[in-house]
Amino acid sequence: MKKIKKAVLPVAGFGTRFLPATKSSSKEMLPLVDKPLIHYAVKDAVEAGIEQIIFVTGRGKRAIEDYFDISFELEFHLSFQGKSDLVDEMRKISDMADFVYIRQKEPKGLGHAILRAKDVVGDEPFAVILADDVIENRLSGTKQLMDIFERYNCSVLGLERVAKEDVYKYGIVSGREIEKKLFKLDEFVEKPSIEEAVSDKAIIGRYIFTHNIFNELEKTKADKKGEVQLTDAIESLSKKEVVYGKILEGKRFDCGSKLGFLKATVEFALNDKEIKDEFKKYLKEVE
């Protein structure tokens, strides 16, 4: 069985829910306390043993490249000030993995973005991580899926049970439970109404795919909005080979929405050694 060493991180969306903040900078660079969302996504991959991160970027995403690069000026400045701890911390970021950048010229949907990575991924299985979904857990979301892949050698999607009122935001799936919290999937609906939803199980931003997903993405037609939907390609893949879904352990924050992002900010601040006591005090004052 091939070991998974590559992860594709699509970051080419417009992030319209965060306009005007995302008019000139990237949603993935919004910070939770002191680290951008994209840092947590890369950490999720690296903790699962991923060695190469393939970013699919678009306009206005230069800050992501700079974040994972070495900054000589900054390091020189920090060294000059005697802040060697910070120099080491900055260096660790660029040493997290090998970083590759591919351009998606137009944001034609998540499926289209992933297809751009086809040549770099080659014929290996690979992970996909969406930085919007931040998952707090002892084992990273990608690692939890990798453990399933290593046992069954097939594509696996990260799932979460969601409230009825929220099904319209997600790809919703259903299938037979083959072991606790692990499902063999056979039905897929993208952003259904409550009536159309086939279950309460939603796909969240962690995936492992065999390279065959690329063939399905190539055949998937764009929808009415001109977007190639990843869920459509996964459904075709499931007709040719098994696709599993695993309900992930841990707390997930939907940082692609303002409310989810604010909830994550509060929880991360309450766990931050440096500020948690004063922040708790402040929250009591404003209650």
In the region spanning residues 240 to 269, those forming contacts with ligand UTP, defined by CB under 6 A, are 256
User: By CB under 6 A, is residue 36 in contact with ligand UTP?
Assistant: no
Give the interface segment with ligand UTP, choosing from 5-13, 75-83, 138-146, 164-172 (CB under 6 A).
Answer: 5-13
Q: Cα(231)–Cα(235) distance, rounded to whole angstroms? A: 6
Cα 82 to Cα 35, 73, 89, 92, 263, distances in angstroms: 22, 14, 14, 18, 36
User: By CB under 6 A, is residue 17 in contact with ligand UTP?
Assistant: yes
Q: Count other Cβ atoms within 10 Å, centred on residue 165.
A: 8
Nearer residue to ligand UTP within complex by CB, 12 or 173: 12
Tokens of 87: 């120099």
In the region spanning residues 183 to 222, those forming contacts with ligand UTP, defined by CB under 6 A, are none
Site for ligand UTP (CB under 6 A): which residue of 27, 201, 246, 252? 27
Tokens of 221: 């037609």
Q: Smallest distance, Å, CB 85 to ligand UTP?
A: 32
Pick the closest to residue 100 from 155, 60, 36, 42 (CA basis).
42
User: By CB under 6 A, is residue 110 in contact with ligand UTP?
Assistant: yes
Site for ligand UTP (CB under 6 A): which residue of 68, 104, 190, 269? 104
Tell me which DSSP letter residue 249 carries: P
Nearer residue to ligand UTP within complex by CB, 50 or 78: 50
Residue whose CB is nearest to ligand UTP in the complex, by number: 13
Pick the closest to residue 60 from 15, 100, 114 (CA basis).
15
Torsion 93-99-105-106 (CA) sign: negative
Q: Which residue has the tokens 């899926």?
A: 145
Pick the closest to residue 20 from 65, 57, 60 (CA basis).
60
Site for ligand UTP (CB under 6 A): which residue of 8, 54, 109, 162? 109
Give the interface segment with ligand UTP, choosing from 72-80, 94-102, 103-111, 171-179 (CB under 6 A).
Answer: 103-111
Binding site for ligand UTP (CB under 6 A): 10-17, 27, 56, 104, 107-110, 112-113, 130-132, 256
